[in-house]
A and B are shown apart, each in its own frame.
Chain A
Amino acid sequence: MPLDLIDSPDFDAGYREGLWTLNFGPQHPATHTTLRLVLKLDGEMVVEAEPDIGFLHSGFEKLAEVLDYNQYVTIVDRMNYISPMANEIAWHHAVEGLLGIELTPRCKYIRTIFAELMRIHDHLLCTGTCVLDLGGATAFMYAFNEREKIYEICERASGQRFHTSYTRVGGLLYDVTDDWVAMVRDFCKTFPRAYRDFAGLVMKNRIFVERTRDVGVLSQADAIAGGATGPVARASGVERDLRRDEPYLAYNDLDFDVCCAQGGDCYARFQVRMMEMLESVKIIEQAINKLPSGPVFISGTGKEGLPDKTEVYRSIEGLIHHFENIMPNRQMPSPKESYYGATESPNGELGYYIVSDGDFKAYRARTRPPSLLHFSLFSRMIRGCMLSDVAAVLGSINIIAAELDR
C-alpha cells in the first residue's frame, strides 16, 4: 500500500488495526547495543516505527554534578565508547572554554591527532558493522584489523586501550614519546592500503549498493530541522563541519576538505564516512609533521594545570602543587557562568552545556549527544522501507546506546 494513500485522511480506519506489530530488540544483533523498536508492518513494509530507548540509562549527567572537571572525564569516555577519546576532548574543550584556558601548541596538536584517530576508529566500526549487518563479514574483519592498531596507539600514549581518560583540564595525562610518533606515522603509511582493500570489497559491491541506495532517505530540510549533524547531515547535503566553521584545537593550521554527499540515503552516509577517513589520515600526517615541542600542560605553577608526575613524586614543590590542584577546597575557582562548548565528534556535534556555581565541578553538565537526535529521525527515515532495511538504516546512522541513554 503506498504511503501517501495511507496518510490521506479519508483512508480506511480499519487498516491500521490490521497491521502486524513486531518488536525489534532490545536484544537483536543489528541493534549492536540495547535499544528497542516497535515496528508496524504491512506485509514487509514498515508503516510506523516507534523507538523505545533508555535501557542503558546510567545517570551520567547526575554524576557530573558530584565529580570534578578532571574526574568526570572517566565517565564521558564511557558514553560513546566507540571513540572514547573524542568524548574526552569534547568535554575538556567545553571546560577549558568555561575557564578561559588556552592550551599549549603541543597539547593542541596531540589532541587533534587523537581526535582524528578516533574519527577513523569510529567510522571503521560504523562502516564495518553496517556491511556486517547486510551480510558481508569479510569487510568487517578488515575494518577491525585497523581498529586494533589505533587501540595500540592509545595504549602507548595513555596506558589504556579502551577507556583512556587521557585528557586533563589544561593538558594531557602524559606527554607522548618518540615511539608513539613513529607508531602514528606507521599507521598513516599502512592505513591507505588497508582502506583500499576494505573499500574495494564494499563500495562497488552490487548487493551492498542495492541494499543501501535510496534506502532510509533523509532530506536536507529534515536534516536541518531535526537537528542532524556530522556525517548524517553532510550526507543530506548540509555543508557544515565544526572543524572548519568553528575551528578549535589545531584545525586552523591544517588543510582538509569537508566531505559531503547528496541523496541522504544509507549509501551517501556510508560514502561520507569513507571519504572522511582519508581526510583524517591527511590531517594526522600534517599534524604529526608539524608536532611542536614544549610542555603539554599550560603552566608550571598555576592552578590551571596539573604538575608533571615526576615533579609530584620527586620534589616537595611538585607535591604541594599537586595537592593544591586536587583538594576540593583548594582547587581553581571557575566563573559563575554557563558555557556551551561543542566539537565535531565522529558522529556529529558533541557538545557540553556547563553551568558553574564557582567550584571546580559543574553545577550542571548537559551532554548534547548526536546519537539522540539522529535516532529521533529514525522513524522518518524508515517509513515505507522494507523490514530488511531496518538493519541498513540503523547501521548507517551509528547509534551508540550508551551515548543515547547516558
Chain B
Amino acid sequence: MSEFTKLKESLESKLPGLVTAWSEFRSQQRVAVPASHIAQALGVLRDAGMDQLVDITAVDMLEYPGATDRFEVVYLLLDTQSGQRLIVKTHINEPDLKLPSACPIWFGADWLEREVYDMFGIVFEGHPNFKRLLLPDAFESFPLRKDYPVKGRGERHNFPIITRAES
C-alpha cells in the first residue's frame, strides 16, 4: 500500500463523510477539507506521518473565474521519512475569516500564520503570539487581497513621521 493510500484511508476513517474532494494535478495530491474540521484533519495527517509543515499560504479568489469562496487557505505538508507530499486546502468567506491555529500541531506554523494574517487578514485562533509579521502594526489594509491596488493606497506617502523632538 502506498504512502498516499494510507494517508487517504486514515483521513477518511477519522473524519467520515467530510473529506471527499481529492484531486491530482501533475502527480501532486490535493485534498479540500471543510474549514470547521481543518484542525482535526491536520492533526490526523500529522499522526499519519506528515511531520513537516512546509508552508501555509492563502489565495484571494475574488477575481478567479468560477470561484465560489473568497479565500482559499493552503497547507503544504511533507513526510520527511517517505517524501510523500500533500496539499490541504480549505475555504473561508467573509465575515467569518477565522481558522484554528496549526501551532499546537507543528510549531513552525507560527510565522507562516502571522504572514497570512498580515497579507490577507485571516485570523488564526489559538496562536500564541498573534500580530502582523512583516508590515507595521499601524498598517490597516491587507495588501495581497485582490481589491487592494498594486500601487497601494498612499500609505507610503502618508506615514506618520516622528520628529526627534517628539521621540
Contacts and interface: CB of A to CB of B under 8 A. Distances in A.
Given A358-B65, A364-B59, A351 B106 contact: no
Contact of A62 (B54, B83, B150): B150
B118 to A, nearest CB: 8
A72 to B, nearest CB: 13
A338 interface: yes
A375 B115 CA distance: 14
Interface in A352-380: 353, 355, 357-358, 363-364, 366, 368, 372-373, 375-377
A59 B156 CA distance: 12
B134 A405 contact: yes
B60 A364 contact: yes
A294 B60 CA distance: 42
Interface size class of A (residues with CB under 8 A): 35 or more
Given A357-B65, A363-B59, A54 B52 contact: no
Nearest to A353: B57
B159 to A, nearest CB: 14
Contacts of A238: 80
B111 interface: yes
Interface size class of B (residues with CB under 8 A): 35 or more
A246 B84 CA distance: 10
B100 interface: no
A54 B133 contact: yes
B134 A54 contact: yes
Interface stretch (A81-89, A140-148, A159-167, A219-227): A219-227
B74 interface: yes
Contacts of B133: 53-54
A374 B25 CA distance: 29
A240 B144 contact: no
Contacts of A57: 134-135
Contacts of A225: 51-53, 106-108
Given A62-B143, A373-B111, A376-B110, A337 B54 contact: no
A336 B61 CA distance: 13
A349 interface: yes
Given A53-B134, A62-B143, A353-B74, A227 B28 contact: no
Contacts of A366: 55, 57, 74
B65 A336 contact: yes
A340 interface: yes
A353 B85 CA distance: 13
**Residue of A65, A100, A406 ringed by the most chain B CB atoms within 10 A:** A65
Contacts of A53: 133-134
B27 to A, nearest CB: 10
Nearest to B129: A50
A7 interface: no
A137 interface: no
Contact of A373 (B74, B108, B143, B150): B108
A224 B51 contact: yes
B4 interface: no
B64 to A, nearest CB: 6
Contacts of B119: 61
Contacts of A357: 63-65
A365 to B, nearest CB: 10
Contacts of A61: 119, 144
A32 B119 CA distance: 26
A335 B24 CA distance: 13
Nearest to B105: A225
A8 B55 CA distance: 32
A11 to B, nearest CB: 19
Nearest to A97: B26
B33 interface: no
Contacts of A182: none
Interface in B95-139: 106-108, 110-112, 115, 119, 132-136
B23 to A, nearest CB: 9
Contacts of A406: 134
A61 B153 CA distance: 17
Interface in B19-55: 25-26, 28, 30, 51-55
Contacts of A226: 106-108
Contacts of B54: 227, 342, 349, 351, 368
Nearest to A380: B107
Given A63-B150, A225-B107, A246 B52 contact: no
A337 B25 CA distance: 8
B108 A227 contact: yes
Given A336-B65, A340-B76, A245 B83 contact: yes
A368 B76 contact: yes
Contacts of B134: 53-54, 57, 405-406
Interface string A258-290: 000000000000000000000000000000000
13 contacts: A57-B134, A62-B150, A66-B150, A224-B52, A225-B52, A227-B53, A227-B54, A227-B108, A337-B25, A355-B64, A368-B55, A372-B111, A376-B110
Q: Which 8 A-B pairs have the closest CB atoms?
A: A227-B108, A54-B134, A376-B111, A226-B108, A366-B57, A368-B55, A57-B134, A364-B59
